[in-house]
Chains A and B, each alone.
Chain A
Amino acid sequence: SSELTQDPAVSVALGQTVRITCQGDTLRTYYATWYQQKPGQAPVLVIYGNINRPSGIPDRFSGSSSGNTASLTITGAQAEDEADYYCNSRDSTGNHLVFGGGTKLTVL
């Protein structure tokens, strides 16, 4: 079982704001990373270090963290944002990595 817990599915109306969460005790200590994965494609990094957005990622994607919960927020969701989103961080030992189970985002 994963040490990081995500809701399996979330939906959002086109143009609205959605928050995808990731819970785990290790998030109190270690930074969260977020990946977007579309069908048949490799994951793409969208947020690292809880809040940092790589170049080329639209600024509608933002990250935050509080306590044992990291969040990915999409402000003004677009149809192309429909994808699976995975959080990732270190495990309780600090020596290994772990992914959350993933959240399937549907844009209505």
Chain B
Amino acid sequence: QVQLQESGPGLVKPSETLSLTCTVSGGSISSYYWSWVRQPPGKGLEWIGYMYYSGTPSYNPSLKSRVTISVDTSKIQFSLTLSSVTAADTAVYYCAGLTASPYYYFDLWGRGTLVTVSS
């Protein structure tokens, strides 16, 4: 049973960089496209991006200039960094595993972690 667990600061100051890590347990780093999805309080889901462990990442065009997703195969972890954050980046951030052939779907989710952007 593959499980995901997000970790990182719950509070980030405006203009600083948000950094989160997702630890994969019980599975292989090559099993999924590793992804991040966020959800502002009371609002809908927003796809941030995904990356296969050996491939090129794909990012939401609206966030592309500020986001980086990376995969650490040795630690079986993947990470999200989002620079120059504002209050609009306050959200629950989920890490997720995306199956991408032939259908695209997230069938593995972390529990989510709330990140608040505030001074």
Interface residues of A (CB under 8 A from B): 2, 30-31, 33, 35, 37, 42-45, 48-49, 52, 54, 84, 86, 88-90, 95-102
Nearest-neighbor residue (CB-CB) of A54 within chain B? B107
User: How many of chain B's residues touch chain A, expressed as a range?
Assistant: 20 to 34
Q: Which of B37-75 touch A at CB < 8 Å?
A: 37, 44-47, 50, 58-61
In contact, B107 and A42 (Cβ under 8 angstroms): no
Q: B residues within 8 A CB of A44?
A: 109
Interface residues of B (CB under 8 A from A): 37, 44-47, 50, 58-61, 94, 99, 102-107, 109-112
Q: How far is the CB of A73 from chain B (nearest CB, A)?
A: 18
The complex places the Cα of A11 from the Cα of B110 at a distance, in Å, of 29
In contact, B107 and A96 (Cβ under 8 angstroms): no
The complex places the Cα of A88 from the Cα of B103 at a distance, in Å, of 11
In contact, A96 and B61 (Cβ under 8 angstroms): yes
